[in-house]
Structures are given as C-alpha cells and as structure tokens.
Structure 1
Amino acid sequence: MDFIQQKDLTGLNAMGLVSYAKNYVSLCNKKELKGISGLLEKGAPYFVLGGGSNVVLDKQIDQIVVHNQLKGVKLLQETTSHWLIEAAAGEVWHDFVLNCIRRGWYGLENLALIPGTVGASPVQNIGAYGVELQNRLDSVVAYDPINQQEIVFTNAQCRFSYRDSYFKHEGKGLIITAVRFLLPKQWEPVLSYPDLHNHPDLQQQVTAQAIFNAVCEIRQRKLPDPKVTGNAGSFFKNPIVSAQQYRELKARFPALVAYEQPENSYKLAAGWLIDQCGWKGRQLGNAGVHARQALVIINAGNACASDIVAIANAIKNDVLQKFGVLLEQEPVFVRN
C-alpha cells in the first residue's frame, strides 16, 4: 500500500484534466483493505478511483483518493448451462472482455473497448450495442471500509437502471473488490443495433469474435482514443421521455432520433439533440465537442474541471431551450 501526498492525477483520468490528490493511497492487495480502513476511521472523506474513465476531477482533491488496482480473473464455477467468472475490480475492462473471448466465455463482446475498469462497470451499469452489464452480472463483491466487512450484492440488490446503480448513491462509499459474471454456454448473438446488424463482417457467419472485432472497429471509427485526445466517452445520458412528449417533439422535429422503450416511453439520442444545437466540433475555452460524435466532450488542451463544467452547462442549456429536454451527464464530478 503506497501512501503519497500531492499525487499528480493528470495521467490517471481519461480526460487528462490537471488534478492533484492531497492524499493518495493505492490498493493492490485485499490484505491492504484493513490498513485503508484505518486511514478512514476518523470520518475522513474519500473517493475510490478506478481507471479514471468516467470522472471529472477538480484541480485539487482534498478527499483521500483510494486507487483500486486489484488484479485477477478466475472461473468460480462451471455448470451445464453457465460459467461463473470473477474478475478483480482493478482489471482493465477491455482486457477482461478480450480474455473472456479467448477462453471461450462469450456474452460480453458487445461491451468491447469501453474504457475503465471492471470495478467501475456496475457503478455505471455500462452498456453498448444492445447489451447492458446487468444482463450478464451475477453479483458484486464490495468492502465497507467503515465497518470493515465484505458484502456480496446480488444482481437485484445492485438496483440497476439506465446508467445507474446502488453504488452511485447509498453505496458510493463502498470499495468494490470484484465483480462476478454469469455467462451462458448457449451463446446467442445480440445484433439489435443497426451498426452491428448491417456491419459487412457480420453478414455471413456470426461469431463472438466477429462481433468483438466489429464493435472495436465501430468504436475506433466513431470515438476518439483517450490516450490521444482526453475524453470520458459519452458525456451525456440518452434522455428518456414519455410517449406524449416524444410525439410532440417528433411533430416539431421529424428527423428526431429515438428508440421505443418499455412502459410507454422513448429514449432520445442525446448526440442528435446536441448536434442540432450546433455544438459538434465547437470549442469553449479549453474544452470542446468532438467533431465526429457530439456526445463526447474533449480536453482541447490543458483543460481543468471548470472548463468541462462550463461547456457541459452551456450544452445542457441550449438543448433545454430548443427541445425542452434536460440532459444528465454520465461522469461523476469529484470536487474539492
């Protein structure tokens, strides 16, 4: 367990924002959890950092930053119908998906190339191309540093919803140590999204590896690489509106992009809304909107949290004024 003061976090967040942690501790082994509990026992505020792919960090973080770097993947159980796999929270998500594909454990291929770590995946209930994490998750293993106890959350106890979970709210003080996945042996491809359904490499024989490759190709074509251009991926959630509001918007904007959802609702394409407000490719201060994907806010050069907040608020205001729809950001804002 390394304890560092004034740790530079600029290279530890995908947006590349200039940020420093007053107190930083790395978690590399579960045996270190008790020591971390000792640091937090006096009620000191803390924040758990994973891959830094879904956070907007302030310039100075006074909270204790616990950097989760737990590693390891293992097969816990094999039945006639499923594999039960456990991955440590600090595993890189994409590497874990690739590992599963190589070992013949299929079901996560649609979620390839999503940035971040395994431990962050249930917090956000990540999803892409027709698959949500909650469709594949068995349970989450977490540690309560205040009460010094391990807790296992079933899928239902995670209270998943669209890009949301228990761990974003009441459970945000927990340290997720591992995530368990239940992957079916009777694999069926998910090709509901047009980008996949119409992909030239998926028109004949469809395999999990082919879907994995196609998803990677699509994402690399549409989204900027955080290693090159700082970004947190999709910055805004696709808003869900009632059928009545959808019909009213469709009447005013016939080209509106939306997807029908359960319970008489529709999911609007936030990227389309933002594009219609003229934000694609625009810059405000040291932050900007990606030229090919309006959902992505980028670090245009030496940006800090205030730059991201400014452009995000400007976008939200414009969309609200034009469409009467309030956008909600996906990343977690970690303020001083």
Structure 2
Amino acid sequence: MADFHEFYPLRRHNTFGFDVRARLAAHIRTEADLLAALADPRAQGLPLVVLGGGSNVVLTGDLDALVLLMEIPGYAVVDDGDGWLVTAGAGENWHGLVGRTIADGLPGLENLALIPGTAGAAPIQNIGAYGVELRERFASLRAHDRQTGAFVTLDREQCAFGYRDSLFKRNGRDRYLITAVTLRLPKAWAPVLNYGELARELESVATPDAAQVRDAVVAIRSRKLPDPAQIGNAGSFFKNPVVDAALRNALLAAHPSLVSYPQPDGGYKLAAGWLIDQCGFKGFDDGPVGVYGKQALVLVHHGGGTGAALLKLADRIADTVQARFGVRIEPEPVIL
C-alpha cells in the first residue's frame, strides 16, 4: 500500500527550496506502491507529477495533483561479456551511484559525478557533463506504461535521446513512469578528457583512473556551482543553444571571445553562460531570486521567493540575450 499524504509540503523535494504543497503525495518504494497509488480512489481525476530529487524542476505554485515521490532502491551488476550491465532503482541517488560503480571497479560514469538527482530522472534529461552524455552509457530502462497498464523495457533507440532531451520530455512525457535504469559500462575503459577544463584539472596526472577523474569533476563543479543545501538552485538553468555555422561565424566576427563548440552536424554549440555573462547578469539579484555570482548559467533562490518570480527573471535574461545576440536560450528544468 502506497504511503499517502494530503497537502504535502514539497520544500524538501525541490532543490530550489520553493515552499509549495501537493494536493496528494505518495512515497513510491516499490513497483507495487506505484500500482497502488495509481489505483487509489483518492487519486482518480488528479494530474500526475513524478519527483525524484527535485533537482530539475521549477515549482511555480501548489500542485493540485498526485505527486509520486520516487524512492525505489536497488543496485545489481551483471557481466555482459565486454561490458558490465548496472541496474539501479529509480530512487537511487545519482552521485551515489557514480561513486558505488567506481568503488566496485566499474568505471564509465565518472564524468557525470555530482550531478544532482536520481537515477530514474537521468534518462529524462539525458544528463551530460564534461564530454559524456548518459546515452553513451545507457542500455535500457524499465517503466510503467500508463497507456497499456503494463511494465515495459525501453532501449536506447526507443528513448530517442537528444541534447538534454528524450522521449520522456516529448510525446512520452505523461505515458511512462520509470522504475529502474540499466547502464552498460565498458570493460575496455579509457578516461574521457576531451573537455578542456577537465583536461587542465588533470594535466599533472599522467594516466588518471576513474576515481581521479571523478574527483576532478567534483572539484570543478564545486567551484562553479552552489550547494543546493546552502543556496537553492537546480544547477545549470539554461541549455547551451546550438546554431548553424553562418550565425556562429557572424557572432564570432562581432564578438571574438565567443565560446563555441563544433557539432557533428556542422553546427556549433554556444556557451549559454558566456552569453548571459556578456549581458551583465552574473551576480545579479532580483529580491529573493538571482544569478549566481560564480556562474551566470545558474539561477538561485535565496529564500522566501517563488517559482513565478524565478521564471520572470529567466524570461528577462533570455529576452536580453536574444536582443543582443539573436539567439534564444531555453530553460533546462521542467516547469510545473
């Protein structure tokens, strides 16, 4: 039987720390809990919202919904010949999972260290950092299909991963409830150090192992990003926009310090943080919400504010960037 609560406070369940409530919330620790919550008469007719670590959402007000607090545990490893299949319950802490695989001699996730949230949320966003995206380590996931009522397994192709995107942010958004994720970690491992900042952090280490790469990533992220326990935030708030070569070249001619990265399709990914910084927003405060002083890509909540106020600031930043550079930047977090 699912553990139900009415008018449940969600402040501890979103890393911005917005003080909102759920009409109905249920702690989901097993797949049986999930089925019980969906079938409960109190939940009928209510919209459904799933929260893991709450690290990639902006809650703009109280939720007149059934909120599933996804807490399913689990960790299992299977030898897959030239790789390891690691299955984690949807409620497992992502950074904890990275650390556990490294401790077990299963490298491959180290570049994704210290990304907040849970394993179940990782495929939704196709999380990525320092030269690695989840889809490169992804095998499959298990989910409840609300359309058929059955549990299904979806592989990488079916998840339709894109840059900070997946099936679960598009036409599968309200259909699938992820309960477990399986990753494939190669036995023939080599560190991924093609991201300049990470390479510089490890330049004094001849052949870094996975733990050293993890520690370097943690050091970099800790310098750049605030701890949500100290300052409310959801990490990088805006996606890095991708533009065609013609626009990138025009921008580079006008702004020689433009930060851009070539893409396989011939386009260029621009550094959203650089664009925002050039518009003078780094360290900007608008009452209880603002922009982090060490990283313009991070919006923060100092306390006593609302998600609506944060979105108003985000729109102002995006409008200013578009007016100056002709590029529209979009939020990474899900807006609820």
Q: CA deviation at 1:105?
A: 0.8
Quick check: 2:202–2:213 contact (8 Å CA) kept in 1? Answer: no
Per-residue CA deviation, residues 273-310 of structure 1 (Å, 9 max, x unaligned), is: 00000000001132100000000000022121111111
Cα distance in 2, alignment partners of residues 271 and 80 from structure 1? 41
1:144 matches 2:145: yes
Structure 1 vs Structure 2 CA RMSD: 1.3
Q: Is the 8 A contact 1:142 1:150 kept in 2?
A: yes
Deviations 1:23-79 (A, max 9, x none): 11110111212212213884431111110000001221101111100001001x213
What's the secondary structure of 1:32's corresponding residue? Answer: helix
In the alignment, structure 1 residue 240 sits paired with structure 2 residue 242: yes
Distance 2:302 2:249 in 1: 37
Letter in 1 for 2:144: Y
- Alignment-mate amino acid for residue 112 of structure 1: A
8 Å contact 1:34–1:148 — kept in the other structure?
A: no
Counterpart residue number, 1:78? 79
Displacement after TM superposition at 1:263 (Å): 1.2
- Partner of residue 194, structure 2: 192
Taking the aligned partners of 2:113 and 2:313, their CA distance within structure 1 comes to 28
User: Which segments of 5 or more consecutive residues in structure 2 lack a partner in the other structure?
Assistant: none
Asked if the contact 2:17/2:303 (under 8 Å) is kept, the reply is no
Matched pairs, number: 333
Partner of 1:47: 49
- Distance in 2, Cα, partners of 1:57 & 1:272: 26
Q: 1:69 aligns with which of 61, 68, 71?
A: 71
1:205 Cα deviation after fit: 2.9
The one of 171, 178, 181 aligned to 1:179: 181
CA distance, structure 2, for counterparts of residue 112 and residue 128 of structure 1: 8
What amino acid is the match of 1:48? V
Measure how far apart 1:145 and its partner are.
3.7
TM-score normalised per structure 2: 0.97
Where in structure 1 are there 5+ consecutive unaligned residues? none
Q: Does 1:258 align with 2:250?
A: no
Preserved contact between residue 25 and residue 64 of structure 1 (Cα < 8 Å) = yes
Among residues 289, 292, 295, which one is paired with 1:290 in the alignment?
292
Q: How far apart are residue 200 of structure 1 and its match?
A: 4.3
Deviation at 1:151, TM superposition (A): 1.1
- Aligned residue for 1:198, secondary structure, equals helix
Once the 2 structures are TM-superposed, how far is the Cα of residue 233 of structure 1 from its aligned partner?
0.3
- Residue aligning to 1:107: 108
Amino acid paired to 1:286: P
Match of 2:335 among 308, 333, 336: 333
- Residues 188-241 of structure 1, C-alpha deviations (whole Å, 9 max, x = no match): 110001111111465323101100111011111111001110000000000000
Q: Which amino acid aligns with 1:265?
A: G
Identity over aligned pairs, percent? 44
Shift of 1:85: 1.0
For 2:231, the equivalent position in structure 1 comes to 229
Is 2:124–2:169's contact at 8 Å kept on the other side of the alignment?
A: yes
Q: Distance in 2 between matches of 1:327 and 1:195?
A: 23
